[in-house]
Amino acid sequence: MLAKFLNKRSRKHMRDYAKNVFEYDQYLLTDYIDSGMTDGFERVKQYREFDEDFRQWELFGAEFGVPECHWGYVAQLTYIESGLLEPKPLMRSLAYGYFATAIDYYKYCSSIEKTGGIANAMWSTISVFRLVLMLLAGLKREADELYHADATARCSGWIVRSHGFIGDFLVQLYGRYLGHIEPPFTTEVQVTLRKTAPFPYASFLDNWDTQDIEFISTMLQTLCNDQVEQAIIGDKKCFFEFHNGHLSYIPLTALMLLKLRDLRGLPNPQFSHPAFGDVTALFEQVCTAFSDYVAAEKILRIEDAADEVLTNTLTRMQSQDFDAHAIFAKRLPSFSAG
């Protein structure tokens, strides 16, 4: 299994993404900045009626999705080749992902407010990785916003479910840190047409803050093993959170557990894994690198981490009544979590 995982970390497609996808995609944002119109509007307006309060940024998809993936690939390439996680590309990726989440949550809330319900599931289960990165960046306000939005979408079933539970686990783990004990978002998932699997991490959620270092080492081992298995399967047979994407080869689940325990003042074990090396040392490197970068760049809010294109895009979006923090502040009692 380890050999397959290491072989799967092909670097060619990560490098090709910058030239074949990212560079091409940039015109979508520059055109929007210049005109205030999205590329997709002309194509869909003949098939769809728009409400009076429609805003162009509601149609964003690849506009933010591609830069998020690109900068994630840049960080992942560095990690694979050097064993280090660089905060600059991760923060750039996170900035795009945060505002993409705000747009998704706006559409979710608007659907409930206008129709009393939700239509097709649209919430991506891998959006939870943005919560992990925000936690590592130390931006608690934005981390809490992402947690609430993700938990709300999962509670209401407005999510494209994977065939695993790592996404659910990460959201509920952060909820436990905040003092929220949520019931499972789902008790089982459909693995195949004839097979289901139950939620496997209940004891981990109940004991994530234990003083038992051996138990935490067992947690870390299991979480890393599960990530390796998901990455090997990829997206060919099933859909998983770690599906050969832009963060699939970084031990994010383990890093989040270590970070939450560190914030709580709990001891962490010395832990290594064949696929990821010395995870404890990586955690210490990540914490120092993020802290130094955030301080040096004077990042007090996620907007401060945006690159020039995103900054100009946000200026245009704000002229069309976009306010991410106001969107995340929306509460829908019938569906809310936490």
Q: pLDDT tier at 105 (50, 70, 90 boundaries)? A: very high
Residue 245 has pLDDT above 60, yes or no: yes
Q: Residue 43 burial (CB < 10 Å; 0-12/13-18/19+)?
A: exposed
Separation CA 16–CA 28 (nearest Å): 19
pTM across the whole model:
0.92
Residue 10 has pLDDT above 80, yes or no: no
The mean of the pLDDT values for the chain is 89
Q: What is the mean pLDDT of residues 34-47?
A: 88
For 218-240, write each residue's pLDDT tens digit.
999 999 999 998 888 765 566 67
Of 130, 137, 126, 131, nearest to 86 by C-alpha is: 137
What does the pLDDT read at residue 338? 47
For 125-143, write each residue's pLDDT tens digit.
788 999 999 999 999 999 9
For 181-223, write each residue's pLDDT tens digit.
877 787 776 665 456 778 889 999 999 999 999 999 999 999 9
Q: What is the mean pLDDT of residues 29-54?
A: 89
What does the pLDDT read at residue 31? 95
Dihedral, CA atoms, 86, 295, 255, 196, nearest 10 degrees? -90
Instruction: For the chain, give the percent of residues with pLDDT over 90.
Output: 63
Residue 36 CB: number of other CB atoms within 10 A? Answer: 14
Instruction: State whether residue 196 is helix, strand or coil.
Output: strand
